[in-house]
Amino acid sequence: MFRRLYERGILLTGGTGFLGTELAARLAKAEETSVYVLVRAADHAEAAQRLRAAWQHDQSLYQAVGRQLLPLPGDFTKADLGLNAEALEALRDHVTLVIHAGAEIGFDKSKAELDQTNVIGTRNMIALSKSLPRLRRFLHISTAYVAGRKHGRVMEDELPGERFSSLYEQSKAEA
């Protein structure tokens, strides 16, 4: 069930969100590239359905589902992204780039809910990425909110350990 279309493989999380949709649209234009889009779903059919629902406004994206944009049912809040052995082996054989854009952005969520997705989920993505022998790059797309209440230019090594406006900001800084 897990297909490999092209030599170069990309694993994308957050594909059903605003930023992930834009990334998927751009990645779909890359020649000879398979984009595996991790989607919280029970199976491939449900994953494809979720992608098509999220991308119904863009016919080229909608039509690329199952072709160049390959739905991958899983959950990055789980160890090994909740993937079976076949899917993990295929990712290890194929993926050269991981783009982790998935996140919980709910400002009304509890610290535990935010940490499960934003902190533990990111750890899981890093752990899986370390097991990908062909990996050339891991990109974690986050948010300017990691700077909390700091003003002006903020470098990564200057991220605050406190003074956040929300639990969301804190979870993203911790991730």
Give the model confidence (pLDDT) of 62-81 as tens digits. Answer: 999 999 999 999 999 999 99
Specify the pTM: 0.90
Give the span between the Cα atoms of 76 and 136, in whole angstroms: 20
Residue with tokens 């944009």: 69
DSSP type of residue 97: E
Residue 118 near residue 146, CB atoms below 8 Å: no
For residue 39, what pLDDT is reported?
Answer: 97
How much of the chain, in percent, has pLDDT values that exceed 70? 93
Instruction: Parse the chain into domains and list their residue ranges.
Output: 8-141
Structure tokens at 46: 């449900």
β-bridge pairing 137-140 and 69-73: unpaired
For residue 159, what pLDDT is reported?
Answer: 65
For residue 137, what pLDDT is reported?
Answer: 96
The residues near 161 (Cβ < 8 Å, ≥ 6 apart) are 173
pLDDT tens profile 5-24: 556 899 999 999 999 999 99
Name which of 171, 71, 154 is nearest 117 in CA terms.
171
Residue 60 near residue 28, CB atoms below 8 Å: yes
The CATH code for residues 8-141 is 3.40.50.720
Give the span between the Cα atoms of 175 and 69, in whole angstroms: 27
